[in-house]
Amino acid sequence: MTVRATIREPVVAVTTDFKAEPPAGIVAIAASSSEGASVYELIREDIIEGRLAANERLVAADIARRHGTSTNPVREALQLLRGEGFVTFAPNRGARVRPIDQDFVRDIYEIGVLIEPALTRWFVGMATHEDITELERIQDLIEENNFADPHRHSELDTAFHTVMYQRHYNRHVAELWWKHREVLRAVSRRYNFTLARRATVMREHRELIGCVRAQDADRAGDVIARHVEGSGRHILEQMRAASAARAG
Amino acid sequence: MTVRATIREPVVAVTTDFKAEPPAGIVAIAASSSEGASVYELIREDIIEGRLAANERLVAADIARRHGTSTNPVREALQLLRGEGFVTFAPNRGARVRPIDQDFVRDIYEIGVLIEPALTRWFVGMATHEDITELERIQDLIEENNFADPHRHSELDTAFHTVMYQRHYNRHVAELWWKHREVLRAVSRRYNFTLARRATVMREHRELIGCVRAQDADRAGDVIARHVEGSGRHILEQMRAASAARAG
DNA sequence: CGCGGATGGATCATACATTCTTTGACGCAA
DNA sequence: TTGCGTCAAAGAATGTATGATCCATCCGCG
């Protein structure tokens, strides 16, 4: 939350500095107003981060008061979120938070398993020498960080995949990937990486680079499928563990 | 447009009567109000049907006047459409129609090629004898109609696929499929089926039923991939032909 | 248990303030 | 004359405020 306040100052993008950004062409839905953080973003964050309980009612007037605006922008933000699937509406009964539960996460990562291999296969056929160098550079940074700074890992990991997908001709698929990626990133922020998962991530990234270098698109697709599948399962396991801990 | 006026009367759903409906659990975003046709639906139809030109500006006040409402519901509808990808926004410059062009259609059907095989494979493992009977019944009706009534074919064809996907556990994927299906259906309404395509559709549907009966999930997935791919290419070809005709 | 009012809130209609974009007229300079 | 920058006015987007109306839910009363 407080981080947002500092965002206004011009961030000098050093080449080694990674900030998770949508692949070019995908307009971060972002603020429609001049304000740094739109109501839309605030509500969305609250939902994904779990600050709003599942199925909690979203009363327009309350939200407006809380964020110091009127109901009109709030209602528009809620409609936007509805279109994106984060909020459900019942006629004349207003909006509710769509639960970001295990089913939701499973649904999301399964879509990733279906589409990322296709994106990856395409990338293998389009990769330049510079792309491979960039992938290796990022992977070096990932290993250098070695999960010490979770947030940095998340940014680097996203950058790794963005290098592969950002130029894909199918902007819808790329956008689909990006939206799902954001959700999973937010959810996984709540948990830590197991040692097993850390090792697997490193191995699979290196294996992937090898496939790209060897121009083996099909194997790259398989690796990515395994990678995404494993990532999703890992998050699900963490969620299960956490809910089991809460329960008893 | 005038058709909408009759929608209010209760449609008695005879079993042999097919009306394309979203798979259970998918709330047709539909009206938030009591009105039969919400502003949302009207704008959406206008975009998909091509009545609104690509990149045309969507001025809230105009739309409100045209539909006899105030700007408030219109703005919400536009945000909803933004979330669904039918409308693009530029800060302080309002909304524009996202072009439903060849690239758009290609993007959409490619997503279908990626996800429908997974849905189908799952269905093969879950299909009951009743499901197969239902598929055959629908296919019989399709062949009986034999493309004579294009609208009826569209409804039946959608029903065929809905039988397979409607019970899938991953509601996100099912919803994704449904949304894309609706778009493709609307676009393809503008064109006719070639004779070649008609034959292929029949053959693939029958082949698919055979796979389900034989419990061959992988082959069913392959058939569906080919089926969706072919369907997408067919629409694209029609669009190309039409635009070539316009141009020259 | 069922019914009727009370209440909260959704939905919509207006009206208006503010800010941004666009556009075209105008004037100055090459 | 032509090109270009300036600037004011119009057109819209965006946000605020307020009231009307309708619907869902709750609560007390019979």
pLDDT at position A37 is 67
Q: Would you call A79 and B79 a contact, using CB atoms and an 8 Å cutoff? A: yes
Specify the pLDDT at position A92.
94
Distance B34 CA to D21 C1' (A): 13
Q: Which residues, 6+ apart, have CB-to-CB distance to A151 below 8 Å?
A: A189
Position B157 scores a pLDDT of 97
Q: How far is A28 from chain B (nearest CA, A)?
A: 11
pLDDT in tens, B93-140: 999 999 999 999 999 999 999 999 999 999 999 999 999 999 999 999
Report the pLDDT averaged over residues B17-29.
57
Grade residue B245 by pLDDT with cuts at 50, 70 and 90: very high
**Residue B13 confidence (pLDDT) above 50:** no
Mean pLDDT value across chain B: 88
CB contact under 8 A, B31 and A172: no
Amino acid at position B129, single letter: H
Question: According to the model, what pLDDT value does residue B16 have?
Answer: 44
Interface probe for B, chosen from A40, A80, A169, A178 (most Cβ of B below 10 Å), is: A80
Crossing angle of the two packed helices A102-126 and A171-188, in degrees rounded to 10:
130
Output the pLDDT for position A49.
87
Our CA-based measurement puts residue B184 at a distance from the nearest CA of chain A, in whole angstroms, of 15
What's A35's DSSP letter? S
Over residues B151-182, the pLDDT tens digits come to 999 999 999 999 999 999 999 999 999 999 99
Are B224 and B116 within 8 A, CB to CB? yes
Residue nearest to nucleotide C14 (CA to C1'): B70
Mean pLDDT to the nearest integer, B232-243: 96
From the list A27, A75, A107, which residue is nearest B171 (CB)? A107
Q: How far is the CA of A41 from the C1' of C16 (A)?
A: 27
pLDDT tens for A37-64 read 689 999 999 998 889 999 999 999 999 9
**pLDDT confidence of residue B187:** 93
Q: How far apart are CA A222 and CA A219, in angstroms?
A: 5
Task: Please give the Cα distance from B4 to B81 (Å, whole number).
Answer: 20
Closest alpha carbon to A228 in A93, A119, A67: A119
Residues A41 and B180: their CA atoms lie apart, in Å, by 26
Question: For chain A, what is the total number of helices (H) and then of strands (E)?
Answer: 10, 3
The answer to whether strand D lies under 7 Å from the CB of residue A248 is: no
User: What count of CB pairs under 8 Å joins A to B?
Assistant: 88
pLDDT at site B37? 66
CA B93, C1' C24: Å apart?
19
Q: What distance in Å separates the CA atoms of residue A220 and residue A228, rounded to the nearest whole number?
A: 12
Nearest to A52 by CA among A28, A78, A26, A31: A78
Is residue B92's beta carbon less than 7 angstroms from any atom in nucleic acid strand C?
yes
Protein-contacted bases of chain C (C-beta within 7 A): 9-14, 19-22
Residue B151: what pLDDT? 93
B12 or A151: which carries more pLDDT confidence?
Answer: A151
- SS3 label, residue B93: coil
**Among chain B residues 91 through 110, which have CB within 7 angstroms of nucleic chain D?**
91-95
| Min Cα–Cα distance to chain A from B98, Å | 12
**Alpha-carbon gap, residue B98 to B86, rounded angstroms:** 5
3-state class of A69 per DSSP?
coil
Q: pLDDT at residue B35 above 50? A: no
Which portions of chain A are predicted below pLDDT 70? 1-37
B64 touches strand D (CB under 7 A): no
Rounded Cα distance between B76 and B52, Å, is 19
- DSSP readout, A178-210? HHHHHHHHHHHTTS---HHHHHHHHHHHHHHHH
Decide: helix, strand or coil at residue B153.
helix
Res B21 pLDDT > 90:
no
Average pLDDT over residues B43-52: 92
Ramachandran category for residue A92: left, alpha or beta (phi over 0 → left; psi -120 to 50 → alpha)? left
How much is the pTM?
Answer: 0.87
Mutate to test the interface with A, among B27, B44, B82, B176 (most CBs of A within 10 A): B82
**Whole-number pLDDT of residue A248:** 83
Nearest nt (C1') from A90 Cα: C10
CA distances from B94 to A39, B65, B84, B101 (A): 18, 17, 16, 21
The neighbouring-strand residues paired with B90 are: B94
Cβ A100 vs Cβ A55: under 8 Å: no
pLDDT number for residue A7: 33
User: Residue B114 is nearest to which of A29, A33, A114, comparing CB atoms?
Assistant: A114
